[in-house]
Amino acid sequence: MNETLVTALTQAQRVVVKVGSSLVTNEGRGLDREAIDQWGAQIAGLRAMGKQVVMVSSGAIAEGMKRLGWAKRPSDMHELQAAAAVGQMGLAQVYESCFAAHGLQTAQILLTHEDLADRKRYLNARSTLLALLELQVVPIINENDTVVTDEIKFGDNDTLGALVANLIDADCLVILTDQKGLYTADPRKDAQAKFLAQVQAGDVSLETMAGGAGSSLGKGGMITKVLAAKRAASSGAHTIVAWGREPQVLPRLAQGESIGTTFVAATARIAARKQWLADHLQLRGRVVLDSGAVRALVEDGKSLLPIGVSEVVGEFERGEVIGCIDATGREIARGLVNYSSADARKITRKPSSEIEAILGYIESPELIHRSNLVII
């Protein structure tokens, strides 16, 4: 068995699991409590293995359609938003009750693409999700279909799953769907179609062979999963696409069994993130480090603390990429800063224990955390 097939989920510490509308709503007949209960049991199993899990769930519009008695997905935007508003109530309730039966506490997170495009909202969403994971809570994420407009579109929640994987630095994205995985052609139409157990994420030929929309409930198909895998791979996350009704699919994947199609990311997660930082062309500002801070970063692999910064140069916001230079002006490192330039100036040369007293809040004891920093 290929090593990547074994390690995609077995070695993953942080996992995003995305489930589609047809699975969640039992092909539109109503929320499938049995299936959701089984996913709760499986996620509890992953948690017992020490893995952090975030779930991205479709189904609000499909459930709303069922509750409103609509047999056909409407095209009017306001009707779609109304269906989402009605369906979201039941979706959250069923997840909460089913997961609680397996000792899992859940939290509902509704996102739009705008949330992930705006820097401050992106960082707030990231901080909230990471805090929930530290608290051993399973976030249940859905597109906020009640307020978005053009975002209710083809393949949205497959894309959302990939965006969430990037957002929280996930190691693996698992897309559970009503298809077994990727074939060279549509197996429903072509008897010669061959199943692909492992492919390279981002391979353009995959987009050609992937079919169209898979069902009338969700608007995605295999093509959206291929594109989602490509997006997730940009941050080094592998993607697995598998049949959601495969018994014990998640724990079996975690134990190394080959199920579905694995889309292999070309670069390891940490390396991909570091490369992105290293390749950043536009630095918003710089901080000048004393000799002790330089040693801490370069020799000891430490995070950058405010006490080691002697000067802040330029204007930047929290979450932007800045350079770290020594007293001679030589760039030592660069990374994502946890404080704006205005706040950074207030806490330079100060111990982290004084940050809250000085600023009135504390985002992090580090100016730049080691995981968000690359040595140049």
Half-sphere exposure (Cβ direction) of 247: Cα atoms closer than 13 Å: 0
Instruction: Provide the token pair at 64.
Output: 């709303």
Coil vs helix vs strand at 82 = helix
Local confidence band at 288 (pLDDT 50, 70, 90 cut-offs): very high
Per-residue pLDDT tens over the stretch 258-271: 999 999 998 776 66
CATH class of the domain comprising 280-375: mainly beta
| CATH code that applies to domain 3-269 | 3.40.1160.10
Residue 234 predicted with pLDDT over 60 = yes
Distance CA 111, CA 164 (A): 10
Residue 160 predicted with pLDDT over 70 = yes
Distance CA 290, CA 349 (A): 10
Per-residue pLDDT tens over the stretch 81-105: 899 899 999 999 999 999 999 999 9
- pLDDT value of position 35: 95
Please tell me the total number of residues recorded for the chain in this structure.
376
- pLDDT value of position 185: 83
Which sequence spans correspond to the domains of the chain?
A: 3-269, 280-375
Local confidence band at 151 (pLDDT 50, 70, 90 cut-offs): very low
Residue 326 predicted with pLDDT over 60 = yes
Residue 168 predicted with pLDDT over 70 = yes
